[in-house]
Every structure is written in C-alpha cells, then in structure tokens.
Structure 1
C-alpha cells in the first residue's frame, strides 16, 4: 500500500487543480461548453472553500488566495442571479465574459510561481522541502 500523501502535498495538488479550473474559466463560453453549467460552478466550488484556503494556510500565496476568492465571489453572484441557469442562458447572460478576464489574471498570478510537484513536498514550485536529518 502506498503512503498517504502529506497535508502539504494535498495542498500543492489542490493549488494545481485550481490552476486547471482557471484555464476553463478563462476560456469564457468555451469553458462552459467543456464542463457544462454544473461543472462550471461546481468544479471551482469543490476546491476553493477549504478551511486551509479561507484561513490562508494553503499552498496559495496571499495574492493567489485573494484572486481565487474574488473569482469565487463572481461565481456566487452569477449563481444568485439565476440558480437554474441553463447552459445557453448562462452564456447569453455574459457572466462567462465577466469572469474570464479575472480568471486570466489569476492564471498569470499562478504562473509567476509555477505549478507545484504532484509527488514531492515543495516550499515553492521547483524547490523541494529540505529534510532535516535526525541526530
């Protein structure tokens, strides 16, 4: 049986998944077509409302956390506008067009640091956490 991933490794993977979701949100109407209306809202929601992100203790930087929470507010506002949007109604409402620029900006913020490893703990992308040798 493989070892369970550490909490840090899980946080790194979540940050990488958020980046992938930003790619979808940045694609505007095409992003809605890729994942459907439920996926458009739920994919992000599945990852963003974690205690570690809301408390600021995740692998996200302060700037990444702020822009991710801004996008979450956009999605919540869109959902409140019409909780029963069909895909066509949502695209016609221009919400994807309003969300996409912020998603593109968030993507750029994430790429400044790069993506984390999915297999080893890193303090920053590309910088493995040093293991302290026992005495």
Structure 2
C-alpha cells in the first residue's frame, strides 16, 4: 500500500475531505446513536468543519455536483436543527426528533457517495479507483 505524501496536493486534500464527509454521514445516518457517539457538539461541528470550505461552496472539490447538493442540503438541515433547539441538552435534542429527520437524508447521501466509491488517501485519483495521470503537455 502506498504511503501518503508528507506534503499532499490540493487534490489529495480534497479527496480526503470527501472521505471524511462520508464518515460524518455515517454518524448522522445512525440517528440518535450518532448523537450518543460524538455528543451534541460533535454532531453539529464535525460536519460544519468539513462542509463550509471554499472548494465545496465553489463546486471545485472532489464532490460530484449531486454529492455537493446533498451535502449542502444536509448542512442547511443541521443549521435549522441548531436554530430550532438553542441551548439544548443531548437528551432534549434527541427528543426533538431532529436526528430522526436528518438520518434518512444522510443515509441517501451515503448511498450516493458509495455509487462512486471512496477516494484514495495516498494518491490522486480522477475518480475513485482511477489513478490520476497528468497529461504530457
């Protein structure tokens, strides 16, 4: 297995970010158990940490157009959940039903990501499983 470069390219970083978003979708898809796993702060902040990147908002990341749309939709959903239940405890948030509303969309997003697969974390790929080879110009 190739080792990851010490100074990864912008493309490799974008591939890794896409993979981390997939990991976070797993947590969101796990409904109330996801909240238990990462806590209330983690539930909101993990996704936020990766989604609001200039490359994603500009559409220049490793996300496909459809993946980008669903990720931004879930980000809006999480923002609405946070605004609707300010100063809540983990138990109050779970009782509010928001995790049960967010989970199905996160599951759909996860399936969409898996249609392409996950990217390598060690080398650049044009698409998952297709190593990027720069053209000789």
CA RMSD, Structure 1 to Structure 2 (Å): 1.1
Residue 69 of structure 1 aligns with which residue?
72
- Residue by residue over 1:107-134, the C-alpha shift from the partner in whole angstroms, topping out at 9 and shown as x without a partner, is 0000000000000000000001113457
Secondary structure of 1:83 counterpart: coil
TM-score (norm 2): 0.94
Within the candidate set 122, 129, 133, 1:130 is matched to 133
Q: How does 1:54-93 map to 2 (within 5 A)?
A: 54-93=57-96
Q: How does 1:36-55 map to 2 (within 5 A)?
A: 36-55=39-58
Secondary structure of 2:13 counterpart: helix
TM-score (norm 1): 0.95
Task: Work out the CA distance in 1 between the residues paired with 2:88 and 2:131.
Answer: 44
Secondary structure of 2:126 counterpart: strand
Task: Work out the CA distance in 2 between the residues paired with 1:80 and 1:48.
Answer: 18
- Report how many residues are paired: 133
1:97 aligns with 2:90: no
Within the candidate set 29, 33, 36, 2:36 is matched to 33
Within the candidate set 94, 110, 118, 1:115 is matched to 118
